[in-house]
Amino acid sequence: MKFKEPTWYNIYYEGSEGRYHVATTNDLKQWLVEHNSEREKGEQEKIEDFIIKKTTPFIYRGECLKNATL
């Protein structure tokens, strides 16, 4: 069986003060469910409210991640 690499997405919101990065995910539907779980009823957002761009993450393993500060 061949492993398929996941597709990753950057999620942006365009507001009155410009565009800002909201999240990076490989599951847009699950991200939206979690995002909306923090919002009140009637204030739920749709995926169309965001700018979605495919991306390629650079994921490194090893000692560097253990000591990294973001």
By residue range, what is the domain housing residue 12? Answer: 8-66
Give the model's pLDDT for residue 69.
Answer: 52
26 within a domain of the structure (yes/no): yes
Provide the pLDDT for residue 60.
Answer: 77
Q: Report yes or no on 46 lying in a domain.
A: yes
User: Could you tell me if residue 42 is inside a domain?
Assistant: yes
Is 18 part of a structural domain of the chain? Answer: yes
Higher-pLDDT residue of 28 and 66 is 28
Q: Is residue 2 part of a domain?
A: no
Residues 29-49 pLDDT 10s: 999 999 999 899 899 999 999
Query: Does any domain span residue 21?
Result: yes
Residue 1 falls inside a structural domain? no
Query: Looking at the 3D structure of the chain, how many domains does it have?
Result: 1
Written in H, E and C, the secondary structure of 5-51 is CCCEEEEEEEECCEEEEEEEECCHHHHHHHHHHCCCCCCCCCHHHCE
Q: State residue 1's pLDDT score.
A: 72
The answer to whether residue 58 is domain-embedded is yes
Task: Provide the whole-model pTM.
Answer: 0.76
Other residues' Cβ atoms within 10 Å of the Cβ of residue 35: 17
